[in-house]
Structure 1
Amino acid sequence: MNSEWLTHIQQAVAHGEQSASITAENPTGRRGAGGRESSMLGPGRKGRPCITLPAGETTELARIDGAGSIRHIWMTVTTHTDAVGFVLRDLVLRMYWDGSEIPGVEVPLGDFFCNGNGERALVTSDLVVVAPTGGMNAYFTMPFRDGARITIENQHPVDVEGLFYQVDFLRTADPATVTDLRFHASWRRENPTTIGQDFTILDTVHGQGAFLGTYLNIVALERYWYGEGEVKFFIDGDDQFPTICGTGTEDYFGGAWAFQDQLSADTEPNVLTFSAPYCGYPTHSTRDSSKQAVYATAMAPLHGMYRWHVQDPILFAEDLRVTVQQIGQVGPDIVERSDDVSAVAYWYQNPPATDRTPIASRNLRRPR
């Protein structure tokens, strides 16, 4: 048994922490309150495994009083309806800590789980796992001292049926044992990006904390290789130039040489997707699977990749900004380019962010 894990469990028991879980079968998470609804099989026999999300409304999935930490979230939902739209981009996931009215997390549901552009992809990583068929798991630790709340807003044109979910958390008797750092996640998109201007993954945040990771989604709007752009971390007052500067987009996400198997000059290179504990490139697609296309199914190439800074934390004491260049390569030349780029930034900070820009409207989020 992992000794680190066992040490944590011993500390949790010593602090009087208690395990709890919120699902459609136990929406309050109270002791002894789960599985009471009736089905055709009788009382307590899978009576309420899922819920419907009414169009245009915000549904509260979880409300937790007191102190503790969320340790795991699992969800699955239908990705297609008869209405035009992309369910995974049309549902907005929000999380609130310690009674704040400003969400610490505000991200399209699919993108939060590294499934961008309304498309499913299998992900096998340390912090996010998306399993067949559309089982979305997040293992971020999300602490709170004075309550937590999770909501989903349905901006899809019609009701979305069949949202299954589970929020696993620990209740803590002593709020003093909870860290001051709060979990955050935000989503940004530019379509198209501006030539010569770096894409902002995380706009400047103030406080102290740690950057946890990036999910980057690129729809290539120009020909040839898109990923020469360097990822930059501007830490604690960095102005024009960053403290940490990578060497290329695929390099930052753990890959190399354009994620391709360069066989020979006469052979089409194979694009090699992969999914590993701390980095991955799970999405490469040139065919539409959204069921929105009526005639043609070919489309601009989709690329999705993630990186978790678990073993290599990015720490900041005053402020942090994260960007990536939009640079490609044509022959021997590197060139500025313009693509459809979106990203999720995941980080912890204290004090919690209070100057968040609201998420873009559904029309500006939808895949084009």
Structure 2
Amino acid sequence: MGRTLLLICLCMTGQVFAQQPSRFNGIEANMGNIFRLSDAKTRSISPENFNGAKGAGGKATTGMGQSASRDLGQGWKVSPSVMIKAKSTFTIAEIDGSGSIQHIWMTPTGNWRYSIIRFYWDDETTPSVEAPVGDFFCMGWGRYAPLQSLAVCVNPGSAFNCYWPMPFRKKCRITMENIDEKDMILYYQVDYILTDVPNDAAYFHAQYRRVNPLPYKGVYTLVDSIQGRGQYVGTYMAYGSHNNGWWGEGEIKFYMDGDSEWPTICGTGTEDYFCGSYDFDTHVKNPAGVDRTEYTEYTTPYSGLAQVIRGDGHYSIAQRFGLYRWHITDPIRFEKSLKVTIQALGWRDGGRYLPLQDDIASTVFWYQAEPHGAYPKLPAKDQLEVN
């Protein structure tokens, strides 16, 4: 009975001992195999060790903390951060060899929509990841909100954490472009391993889009350029409502491997796709004892409504929402192609649907074999602005 229960628990998280490779390489360490020995070599890149070299951390004699450490000297937080000048690009990490990114932590200052993070795998010249840093870490509205999930955590102090495994075979390059008119400060750490990468390991991808406003009766496209074989693993949406009333009746649709007019997967509503229900409402009583409903934030390992920005009745009158859905235990697998769309739909009087013209931004996440299809051009600075 005990062994059966253990196998059930491990199966629920995809961690069955019999399925583990005979030579564990450490790329997908988890609670089911963390005790297994590996030949992987752990490394870390930060402003205290720009290239992740063994035995080279904390050796800086100049840096952003030089003044504060002047009485203590080398080894005392001399270089904890970097300044990225306005209209410039900084290389966060450049790694040669085969391995996998395992964790990224950073806390960027400045405007999170104007800081563009990009990832390049092996010898590719166009990025596999391209998104504003706030949207990549599920903070698309430029305001902190706590978020706890398996793939992304945002912790107090606006600490961004990413746990998506990101294997590479020849090289990894991560950059941050500051498109703002002001300089920004970036604290960061990239934790990775150097190890052999299995033949069936796909590459991590992320793509950002925004439409504001969505045309009347238009359907929002989260992604339509995925070509090749892989699996779709996540959606983040920064949804800005331009109307009163409920906004989340729209269906998400996955068109895969040659689907044309009709998709293979069709959802039943926006709040349903993000694993909520009934408008994300909770019934509460006000101080007078009158029953009312209100949006209820939630974060779980796989889905959440992490952010609800309520209008203040003055200049910030718009309602804005941040939602995520990770397909970690239920990846959407495709062989040749994938297109994903979602409707923006509310209610008219008389019980009829109302096509909405809202502000929708999204970052979607997937793994695939390279090469990847062409990405749409990233919106210009004015089109990225949160207003």
The reply to whether TM is greater than 0.5 is yes
**Are the equivalent residues in 2 in contact too, given 1:181–1:352 (CA < 8 A)?**
no
Per the alignment, residue 383 of structure 2 pairs with 364
Query: Which residue does 1:291 correspond to in 2?
Result: none
RMSD after superposition: 2.3
Alignment CA distance shift 1:120-1:62 (3 Å): same
Aligned residue in 2 for 1:12: 25
Q: Which residue of 2 aligns with 1:224?
A: 245
Aligned runs of 1:256-275 on 2, under 5 Å? 256-262=277-283, 267-275=291-299
Aligned to 1:37: 60
Q: Does the C-alpha gap of structure 1 residues 142 and 171 become closer, same or farther in structure 2, counting only changes over 3 Å?
A: same
Distance 1:271 1:296 in 2: 20
Work out which of the residue numbers 103, 114, 123 in structure 2 matches 1:72. Answer: 103
Specify the structure having the higher radius of gyration (Cα).
2
Q: Which residue of 2 aligns with 1:122?
A: 146
Q: Alignment partner for residue 343 of structure 2, among 316, 319, 325?
A: 325
Q: How many residues align?
A: 352
CA apart distance, 1:60: 0.3
Task: Quote the Cα distance in structure 1 between the aligned partners of 2:200 and 2:121.
Answer: 13
Aligned-pair CA distance for 1:223: 1.6
Q: Is residue 227–residue 373 contact of structure 2 (8 Å, CA) maintained in 1?
A: no
Cα deviations across residues 196-250 of structure 1 (Å, max 9, x unaligned)?
A: 1210011131101000100011110112110000111001111111110110001
Q: Aligned partners of 2:239 and 2:294: how far apart in 1? A: 19
Which residue in 2 is equivalent to 1:156? 180
Residues 338, 169 of structure 1: CA spacing in aligned structure 2 closer, same or farther, 3 A cutoff? same
TM alignment of 1:177-196, pairs within 5 A: 177=198, 179-196=200-217
Q: Distance in 2 between matches of 1:329 and 1:8?
A: 52
Quote the Cα distance in structure 1 between the aligned partners of 2:339 and 2:218: 15
Give, in whole Å, the separation in 2 of the partners of 1:337 and 1:120: 27
Q: Contact between 2:226 and 2:373, CA under 8 Å: does it hold in 1?
A: no
Contact 2:137–2:160 (8 Å) recurs in 1: yes
**Equivalent residue, structure 2, for 1:304:** 322
Give the distance between the partners of 1:9 and 1:326, measured in 2 at CA. 48
Cα distance per residue 1:7-61 (max 9 Å; x no partner): 6897127662100010010000010111002432111111100000100000000
Contact 1:97 1:144 in 2 (8 A): yes
Find the partner of 2:169 among 130, 145, 148: 145
Counterpart CA distance in 1 for 2:21 and 2:109 is 36
CA distance in structure 2 between the partners assigned to 1:234 and 1:101 by the alignment: 28
1:169 aligns with 2:192: yes
- Displacement of 1:296 in angstroms is 3.7
Aligned-partner Cα distance in 2 for 1:325–1:131: 31
Task: Please say if 1:350 is aligned against 2:369.
Answer: yes
Amino acid at match of 2:235: T
**1:24 matched to which residue of 2?**
47
Contact 2:87 2:178 in 1 (8 A): yes
SS in 2 for 1:298: coil
Of residues 219-228 and 327-336 in structure 1, the stretch that sits farther from structure 2 once superposed is 327-336
Q: Distance in 2 between matches of 1:352 and 1:366?
A: 31
Contact 1:120 1:134 in 2 (8 A): yes
Determine helix, strand or coil for the equivalent of 1:277. Answer: coil
The answer (yes or no) to whether the contact 1:211–1:348 under 8 Å persists in 2 is yes
The answer on whether the counterparts of 1:18 and 1:171 sit within 8 Å (CA) in structure 2 is: yes
Deviating more after overlay: 295-304 vs 267-276: 295-304
15-24 or 146-155, which moves further after superposition? 15-24
Secondary structure class of the residue paired with 1:299: coil
Report the secondary structure of 2:246's partner residue: coil
- Residue type of the alignment partner of 2:98: A
Match of 2:34 in 1: none
Partner Cα separation in structure 1 for residue 172 and residue 261 of structure 2: 38
**CA distance in structure 2 between the partners assigned to 1:8 and 1:325 by the alignment:** 42
Give the whole-Å Cα distance in 2 for the aligned partners of 1:52 and 1:27: 14
Contact 1:213 1:347 (C-alpha < 8 Å) held by counterparts:
yes
User: Aligned partners of 1:50, 1:10: CA distance in 2, in Å?
Assistant: 37
Shift of 1:74: 0.4
With over 3 angstroms needed to count, the CA separation of the structure-2 counterparts of 1:262 and 1:24, relative to structure 1, is: same
CA-CA distance at 1:278 after TM superposition: 0.1
Flag structure 1 segments of 5+ consecutive residues without an equivalent. Answer: 80-86, 289-294
Conserved? CA contact 1:143–1:178, under 8 Å: no
Any idea what SS the aligned residue of 1:251 has? helix
Change (3 A) 1:152 1:259: same
Do the aligned residues in 2 keep the contact of 1:102 with 1:354 (CA within 8 Å)? no
Residues 169-188 of structure 1: CA distance to partner in whole angstroms, max 9, x if unpaired?
Answer: 1101x45x354411100000
What is the distance in 1 between the residues matched to 2:16 and 2:107?
A: 28
Deviation at 1:77, TM superposition (A): 1.9
In 1, the alpha carbon distance for the partners of 2:314 and 2:294 equals 24
Cα deviations by residue, 1:67-126 (Å, 9 ceiling, x for unpaired): 1110110000224xxxxxxx1000000000012111000000000000012222211001
Aligned-partner residue type, residue 238 of structure 2:
N
The reply on whether 1:250 has 2:274 as its aligned counterpart is no
- The DSSP-based 3-state class of the residue aligned with 1:258 is helix
Q: 1:347 Cα deviation (Å)?
A: 0.4
Q: Does the Cα contact within 8 Å between 2:45 and 2:189 map onto a contact in 1?
A: yes
In structure 1, the residue matched to 2:230 is: 209
Deviates more, 1:318-327 or 1:8-17: 8-17
TM-score norm. by structure 2 comes to: 0.86
Q: Could you tell me which residue of structure 2 aligns to residue 334 of structure 1?
A: 353
Q: How many Å separate the matches in 2 of 1:15 and 1:207? A: 31
Q: Which moved more, 1:320-329 or 1:39-48?
A: 39-48
Partner of 2:257: 236
